[in-house]
Amino acid sequence: MELYVERGFEQTTVADIAGRAGLTERTFFRHFADKREVLFSGQDELLKSFVSAVAGAPDDASPLEAVAVALRAVAVEFEPRRPWSQQRGRVILANPGLRERELIKLAGMASAVAAALRERGVGEPAASLAAQSGIAVFHIGFAQWIDAGNTREFSQIITESLAALKVVAAGD
């Protein structure tokens, strides 16, 4: 991450990363498919956390409430990683290909959350609408959380964003 911030993503090579980490390139490739994956390596764990929290939401929770449970759980997990997340966000924002990869990741999360809602017995289009709305809250809230001027915790931003979504959905 330091190299990406110092030099830029495009100017940083796998050899640079391996050298900084005290590894060979071969060892790097045992852990990562390419240099992008350094930025996206926690994706599977995040997805599992989201899906698990949706599945574990109270049985009487509405689809959006189940997603809100997941959003709050994930926000708590992220809080200790704020400095790294801020650096990651700057690197991704500066590179169109990485921004595209981030959007693909978010689309995959929405699909997985929708599937978890369907497993709970939520029909369509409610499952997809709740999942897409929740991922939009995550995406917008995350951008606010990593902003250099922000002092609020991610969970607080998520709570505020969910309240704003309810206002928008109610048409007020």
CA-based max dimension of the chain: 58
Structure tokens at 139: 């995406």
Are 125 and 162 members of one domain? Answer: yes
Structure tokens at 157: 């931003």
Structure tokens at 158: 């998520």
Radius of gyration of the chain (CA): 18
Q: What is the pLDDT of residue 167?
A: 92
Q: What is the pLDDT of residue 67?
A: 97
Nearest to 107 by CA among 81, 80, 79, 138: 138
* Count of domains forming the chain: 2
Are 91 and 23 members of one domain? Answer: no
Are 13 and 90 members of one domain? Answer: no
Mean pLDDT rounded to a whole number for the chain: 93
Are 156 and 79 members of one domain? Answer: yes
Are 34 and 54 members of one domain? Answer: no
Residue 12 DSSP symbol? -
Are 29 and 61 members of one domain? Answer: no
Are 63 and 97 members of one domain? Answer: yes
Q: 16, exposed or middle or buried, with CB in 10 Å at 0-12, 13-18, 19+?
A: middle
Q: What range defines the domain where residue 36 resides?
A: 1-40
Q: What is the pLDDT of residue 5?
A: 87
- Distance in angstroms (rounded) separating the CA atoms of residues 154 and 142: 7
Are 102 and 127 members of one domain? Answer: yes
- Distance in angstroms (rounded) separating the CA atoms of residues 18 and 84: 19
pTM: 0.89
Are 36 and 50 members of one domain? Answer: no
pLDDT tops 80 at residue 92: yes
pLDDT digits (tens, 9 = 90+) for 11-33: 999 999 999 989 899 998 988 88
Are 86 and 19 members of one domain? Answer: no
